[in-house]
Amino acid sequence: MSVSGTWYLTLAAALFSIGAIGLLIRRNILIMFMCIELMLNAVNLSFVTFSRTLNDIGGQSSVFFVLVVAAAEVVVGLGIIVMIFRRSATTNADDLHMLKG
Note the pLDDT of residue 19.
97
9-20 mean pLDDT: 97
Q: Of 11, 12, 13, 33, nearest to 22 (Cα)?
A: 33
pLDDT digits (tens, 9 = 90+) for 70-80: 899 889 988 88
Note the pLDDT of residue 98.
67
CB 95, CB 84: distance < 8 Å: yes
Note the pLDDT of residue 101.
63
CATH tag for 5-100 (out of 2.40.50.140, 3.40.50.620, 1.10.287.3510, 3.40.50.10190) = 1.10.287.3510
pLDDT digits (tens, 9 = 90+) for 31-76: 888 999 999 999 999 999 999 999 999 988 999 999 998 899 889 9
Distance CA 47, CA 87 (A): 40
For residue 21, pLDDT over 70 is answered with yes
Note the pLDDT of residue 90.
75
pTM: 0.83
Arithmetic mean of pLDDT over the chain: 88
